[in-house]
Structure 1
């Protein structure tokens, strides 16, 4: 479910001017003594004001982390912004993280539970809420894949199947649907400039293979230690770009 807050267009024009587009390298810093340059390294001294930190995951999960995204149409019209905050919890006896966004123009927000299994991060539970409480509950078995750190080779492709179970806020009126998506790595180390800076990213194409809206195509760019940097939904004519990120002990941009 898309979450945005609508603001006057002039507010975002001013905000974007205030966001420096500093050129940054998204890979982890080289270990002490390792002078091998990365593809994004330069002989010139960097003027970056932010840092990536030690977590090189394409989907970093850290308690207290915050990502802010600017949403626009594919033609550049500003739609609003989304602020996502991470909180570490325990889920079924193991570590998990709840990603909560800000209320949209209808006063609704989403709380998604993410678990990590090996190199993969997947959403296993989601609740839609408003001022009156929970209005929708969705469970995913085994999980809706968000990112996988094994995505490191152009041309790699896999299909992930899962079950989606939806109820109302009281856990009633269940709706079951089998779903599936294919994920293909289209590029690695692709330079992407967004309001938060310029990052070297993995570019992924996700296509729904099973379920309603089969054939739906989404493109997204994730950077190591940063998370999602850009997302495009061609069918909706919608684009999301990272405006800022703050991860305790890690990324801090712009």
Structure 2
């Protein structure tokens, strides 16, 4: 089979995009998805995203990790999918779409900056050494002193597969503070099973965790990830976080066709 695909990236978090409005893609073929995401034998990506029709919104997002399994929400993937929908002519400057964690609203600027509304967060679990919360995907957030030399891959894997989170595991974010409302983070992503250059739900989790633990008083937080800069804003009231927006660039890389099978 031949598949037409589009490659997008958001602060270095890269995705294979496929227009599946005609439902031609074999969604249950885990090995095919894994092959397409493979950086040596396929296209190469952190994940694969299908754009599909939806009865009540502009489109539906179906997201797979690079291991081929359908996964929870991906913030950067959602932003990239908005850019893809604009390229396909489905939307113009704003949109609503449905994803695994519910309804999302997004806007896109002329410069390709996409602001994506994330799910509300009503629970932040504070522990002695870390914070845990769900921003569409589960996230462990932990402060470290020297992020430059920190072994994200091995330490992240220990936490992801450790006793804390059971079989489901968790994404793991390591954070350092650089200014009153600025933080740097590196993320180990489950499903990729490695560090990625950026994680949107992770950046969102870090921003909320830093506010919840008193590291910042700001409701507009800048986050330096390995692939660039992201911005997270929210409204906080009595520990409840609403109007959560993840903002940053999303760029088209290339279009191609691949023959598999």
TM-score over 0.5 (shorter chain): no
Higher helix share: 2
Q: TM-score, normalised by structure 1?
A: 0.33
Q: TM-score, normalised by structure 2?
A: 0.32
Higher strand share: 1
